[in-house]
Structure 1
Amino acid sequence: MNVSDALSATVLRLRRTQVEAPGRQEAPVRADRRTKNLTKRLRPGDIAVIDHADLDRVSAEALVACGVSAVVNVARSISGRYPNQGPELIVGAGIPLVDDADPEALTRVREGERLRLEGDTLYRGDEPVARGTVQDPVSVEAAMAGARAGLSTQLEAFAANTMAYLQRERDLLLDGIGIPAIDTGIEGRHVLIVVRGYHYREDLTALRPYIREFRPVVIAVDGGADAVLEAGLRPDIIVGDFDSVSDRALSGGAELVVHAYRDGRAPGMDRITDLGHKAVVFPATGTSEDVAMMLADGSGADLIVAVGAHATLEEFLDKGRSGMASTFLTRLRVGGKLVDAKGVSRLYRSRISPWALTGLVAACLLTIVVAAVSSPAGQVYLTFLAARWDTFSYWLTGLLT
């Protein structure tokens, strides 16, 4: 089920619930400080308790796709630092959003217990568990307007972070020093980098003809490996710290590249060792998405197609991390090699059109007929077929009469 289907189903379900009991939700509750960990456990109809300041769009899409009945955030979903898109998506789907709730709610609730959300308060029986501020489209739009007004401050911080990253990673960005050697052959080939981010499902579906024809090297970034498997493909390389990828994906035979800190510490290596696999270490300051692009570029990729990656300034800021500066500079380094998946799906057309394929089949059949008529062997075979046809016609006529 894609995000749009899940969103439609959630809206219909919430409308039915609101008719039965306006302003009231009673459902199992699941809580986690990390939203991406919580979405792995959520079931349709659950109340999600999260701790996610400046809720971004990717996390909100994941919550909507899980079919939650309500979201209780112990942090501020819109702090005003920048116009993050997550809250708009949540309230736009008709999902109640209680914001800036009591932080103790994360420890007060028990996994899977049924609690009741009425208005701005989460109850266990008649006992209040957490109280916050209900967000609606009007309040979200007002907060977003204030955030846009302060956007210039975020742009200045973004520029400062960009310069600081350039100073730290000058050798890597300019000369490619530090990019590890890998076994997978990339030189002169197309590379498809899959991040479980913006519209990754739709992009992978649109790229199927391109993938069939060009057979690109598939580099998955962390949870993008599971997205690749869901699409019926196999990753050739998996890059990341491996905190959001399944054991099944890691054990699928792909080459593993652990994104490590600049000092060489690689927390993801412990998991790889426990699974009995080997991995290449890539120390870098940026994000795993950047590491994948630099790996493809440094290994001689002819073209890099990005799925689910950050492509616009709004998406950089929506992530809410200073590390997005590295993403900006990485794109400058890769340059003209990098193409967004949407651009490929709009411009790419299969080299073999259906009409050309039909014409080829017709020409082959005509050649076979001409050869059969003009050759002695063909004459014998046609005589044999005619005799068989006469036998069949005689049998059929006798059957009917």
Structure 2
Amino acid sequence: MRLRKGRETIPTDTLVGPAVVRADPRTKDLTKRLQAGEIAVIGHADIDRVSAEALVACRPAAVVNAARSISGRYPNIGPRIIVEAGIPLVDGVGEEVLAAVAEGEELTLHDGELLRGEEVVAAGQVQTLSRIETSMREAEAGMNTVLVDFVENTIEYIRKDSDLLDEEIVVPHVRTDFTDRQALIVVRGYHYKEDLAMLRPYIREYRPVLIGVDGGADAILEAGHTPDMIVGDMDSVSDAALTSGAELVVHAYRDGRAPGVERLQELDLECVLFPASGTSEDIAMLLADDKGAPLIVAVGTHDTVIEFLDKGRRGMASTFLTRLRVGSKLVDAKGVSLLYRQRISNTQLWVLALAGLLAVFVALSATAAGQTVFGLIAAQFDGIARWFQSLFGLGSATADVAAAGLAPLIPGRLPL
């Protein structure tokens, strides 16, 4: 049963399944194998926008979250995206569910309860838009405190820990040639798919160095391009991207530790280490700047408080400092798809094309060469008419009438 309340459809006895279950505490890992119609079991506190969009793209039958989808720490919009897509979201069922379910088994979801036959495996609250809006208002009320903490953490990091303004920071040597080539850095952030699609003409014309930051490399592949370089800790990029031929730059800790190297060694892939503080997208910008890229275009990068909270970060010092260092080279493409929309409809394009053809027709008919061409076309029509006459045994008078009927339609008709 479903009750209507304003614009919202409230599920009062949600029933899903039996359906195959896919479980993973890391949403970005789960979405790599989640199929349409399956039940996704995750452990994701404060579901962020990018994760929610990735889940919706997989078209699961339902999402069961071991954690609270909105903790109240800040107004994250991921849960709303899932529910507005018509996907049931059951919230706060407990961390035990991740161990209690087996990958690939078939379970049923009924009224907030995950069932194995008659056994209740886990139970939580079915989220609705009204509940989500209430939680969002409560989270927004506490944003002043969160913002103050965020700014204080940013300032403290700048004063004590950052090496990004250090003139002696060592940028590694890479084989990718940036000479007279702009750099396009892609991160799987807000609107990255739409913005990449809008930048297709730019990529085709300028041939920039395509740099994928971790999963951004897969975004480049999905857009029909091949990354020239992949930068990051290599934990959220696919094997297909890693083996695409791109140069691999592993973001290491300042003490030289680089957990991502182990995965590349297993794939027998060579890499370059870049020890530095900050985020992987920061060091991608620093590398492009150091290697001489005249312009750096960024897609999907994070630079607002909500985006950093979505990523679980308590400050944005490294991003602030990186932008100071890179300076006027950086162009942020975020939201290009929202700023520009095609205003010409397909119908208008067809009308414009037909008008153009008509103009060409009239122009040709006014010239001797055009009249000759149209006369040859008329002769072909006459031949077709006579062929029909011989095929169906039509009288010569009928064929002449048919030919005569076609003749006035074509200017410059040649005499038979």
Of residues 14, 21, 25, the one that matches 1:23 is 14
SS of aligned partner of 1:316: helix
Maintained 8 Å contact 2:191/2:335? no
Structure 2 CA distance for partners of 1:343 and 1:190, relative to 1, 3 Å: farther
The residue type equivalent to 2:268 in the other structure is G
The residue type equivalent to 1:25 in the other structure is V
Gaps of 5+ in 1: 1-14, 348-385
1:227 paired residue number: 219
Structure 2 CA distance for partners of 1:267 and 1:341, relative to 1, 3 Å: same
The residue type equivalent to 1:202 in the other structure is E
1:58 paired residue number: 50
Of residues 253, 258, 274, the one that matches 2:250 is 258
The size of the alignment, in residue pairs, is: 348
SS of aligned partner of 1:52: coil
- Kindly report which structure 2 residues correspond to 1:230-309, keeping only aligned pairs within 5 A, or say none: 230-309=222-301
Residue 184 of structure 2 corresponds to residue 192 of structure 1: yes
SS of aligned partner of 1:172: coil
Residue 122 of structure 2 corresponds to residue 130 of structure 1: yes
Deviations 1:152-188 (A, max 9, x none): 2221221122123323554423536132222212244
Alpha-carbon separation, structure 1, partners of 2:79 and 2:72 = 12
Structure 2 CA distance for partners of 1:171 and 1:326, relative to 1, 3 Å: closer
Maintained 8 Å contact 1:172/1:179? no
Tell me which stretches of 4 or more aligned residues in structure 1 moved more than 3 Å. Answer: 167-171, 342-347
Residue 324 of structure 2 corresponds to residue 335 of structure 1: no
Residue 162 of structure 2 corresponds to residue 162 of structure 1: no
Task: After superposing the two structures, state which structure 1 stretch, 172-181 or 153-162, moved more.
Answer: 172-181
Task: After superposing the two structures, state which structure 1 stretch, 319-328 or 219-228, moved more.
Answer: 319-328
Alpha-carbon separation, structure 1, partners of 2:334 and 2:151 = 27
Deviation at 1:24, TM superposition (A): 0.7
- Kindly report which structure 2 residues correspond to 1:44-83, keeping only aligned pairs within 5 A, or say none: 44-83=36-75
Alpha-carbon separation, structure 2, partners of 1:132 and 1:323 = 32
Alpha-carbon separation, structure 1, partners of 2:184 and 2:336 = 11
Q: Matched residues, percent identical?
A: 62
Deviation at 1:89, TM superposition (A): 0.9
Deviation at 1:324, TM superposition (A): 4.0
SS of aligned partner of 1:264: coil
TM-score (structure 1 length as normaliser): 0.79
Alpha-carbon separation, structure 1, partners of 2:211 and 2:23 = 32
Deviation at 1:258, TM superposition (A): 0.3
The residue type equivalent to 2:91 in the other structure is D
Maintained 8 Å contact 1:287/1:324? no
Structure 2 CA distance for partners of 1:63 and 1:141, relative to 1, 3 Å: same
SS of aligned partner of 1:220: strand
1:373 paired residue number: none
The residue type equivalent to 2:115 in the other structure is Y
The residue type equivalent to 1:313 in the other structure is V
1:363 paired residue number: none
Deviation at 1:282, TM superposition (A): 0.9
Maintained 8 Å contact 1:311/1:340? no
Alpha-carbon separation, structure 2, partners of 1:42 and 1:281 = 32
TM-score (structure 2 length as normaliser): 0.76
Deviation at 1:328, TM superposition (A): 3.4
Larger radius of gyration: 2
Deviation at 1:133, TM superposition (A): 1.7
Maintained 8 Å contact 2:294/2:329? yes
SS of aligned partner of 2:80: helix
2:98 paired residue number: 106
SS of aligned partner of 1:55: coil
Deviation at 1:242, TM superposition (A): 1.0
Alpha-carbon separation, structure 1, partners of 2:168 and 2:74 = 33
1:209 paired residue number: 201
Supply the RMSD in Å over aligned alpha carbons: 3.1
Deviations 1:197-242 (A, max 9, x none): 2222211111111111111110011111121112111111100111
Deviation at 1:54, TM superposition (A): 1.0
SS of aligned partner of 2:44: coil
